[in-house]
Amino acid sequence: MHLDPAWIALIGTVCGGMGLKVLESWLGRNKVKIDEATTLRNELRQEIADLRAENRELEKEVDRWRMDYYDLRDKAVERRDE
């Protein structure tokens, strides 16, 4: 069977176009995955920053309670010694 060069060119063009679309969709899917990963990392970074800020606030509160405790303990010792 002998194919005309025009038919060969047409088949090559169609196959090339389909191959290009498959490659494009595959690369686009990877880009979507990369964008989702970047978004997730940014959300996790923000959550870490929020938790660190909350931790600092809680440490300040613990220090305040500790100081109140020692002040009250010192007052109790003074009253007992009187």
Residue ranges per domain, the chain? Answer: 36-82
Residue 1 confidence (pLDDT) above 70: no
| Helix or strand (DSSP H, E) at 61 | helix 5-81
Residue located via tokens 């679309």: 21
Answer yes or no: pTM beyond 0.75.
Answer: no
Percent of the chain with pLDDT over 70: 96
Average pLDDT over residues 1-29: 80
Give the number of other CB atoms < 10 A from CB of residue 5. 7
**pLDDT single digits (tens) 42-74:** 999 999 999 999 999 999 999 999 999 999 999
